[in-house]
A and B are shown apart, each in its own frame.
Chain A
Amino acid sequence: AQKITQTQPGMFVQEKEAVTLDCTYDTSDPSYGLFWYKQPSSGEMIFLIYQGSYDQQNATEGRYSLNFQKARKSANLVISASQLGDSAMYFCAMREGAYNAGNMLTFGGGTRLMVKP
């Protein structure tokens, strides 16, 4: 079974509008971490935002916020006021368990976001 599912292979958004990228996850471990990364066409993986399973509040980083719904096992990324530079692949990832040596990230299949001027 997929541990991380991103159901939107591609999305368009108008510049300056907000967009939500979906991510659902599957784990039986009570301790886990959820990450979002951006991969522009240049190829590098850029960390955007992190949410721990015990965090009480949704994470925010500038224009990025994470809509964490624990009971639904979803961790959607919200980008406010989209910019042309936001056009990229976006990956949701999970670390199962508390951080220990070797706890790797498991990635979803990604969502390609295209921002229209």
Chain B
Amino acid sequence: DTAVSQTPKYLVTQMGNDKSIKCEQNLGHDTMYWYKQDSKKFLKIMFSYNNKELIINETVPNRFSPKSPDKAHLNLHINSLELGDSAVYFCASSRTGGGYTFGSGTRLTVV
């Protein structure tokens, strides 16, 4: 019973390609997030959605586009991938009064 699941776990792709990472949570949480962890392990917020509505949109290239079809899903689409996009991307979810649950991460490698 995975609480926050991300697919795929690993993604290797060439520069210039378009790729998507999917995230689903079965916790009934109302807010979902995308975080990026760089090669130095630093974690930075990218986006936050609450009940399918975009709440936080940090300074992220517009090649990154989140999509939330319903409050249990938050996908991340990346256009025209660049070498610098290589990182681990974490999806997370939270609810009022509760904590934050993270997915297991997607390691994206752009070659």
Contact = CB atoms under 8 A, between A and B. Distances in A.
B102 A102 contact: no
Nearest to A110: B41
Contacts of A29: none
A71 interface: no
B68 interface: no
Contact of A43 (B44, B88, B99): B88
Contacts of B30: 101
A66 interface: no
A12 interface: no
Contact of A102 (B55, B88, B97): B55
A101 B45 contact: no
B105 A104 contact: no
A95 B45 CA distance: 12
Contacts of B100: 35, 47, 95, 105
The interface size bin for chain B is: 20 to 34
Secondary structure class of chain B's binding surface, majority of residues? strand
Interface in B20-47: 30-31, 33, 40-45
A106 interface: yes
Nearest to A44: B104
A45 B56 CA distance: 21
A104 B56 contact: yes
10 closest Cβ pairs, A-B complex:
A102-B55, A101-B50, A45-B102, A107-B43, A104-B45, A44-B104, A102-B48, A43-B105, A110-B41, A101-B31
Given A101-B55, A105-B92, 16 more contacts: A43-B107, A45-B92, A45-B102, A47-B101, A47-B102, A91-B43, A93-B43, A99-B97, A99-B98, A100-B96, A104-B33, A104-B45, A109-B40, A109-B41, A109-B42, A110-B42
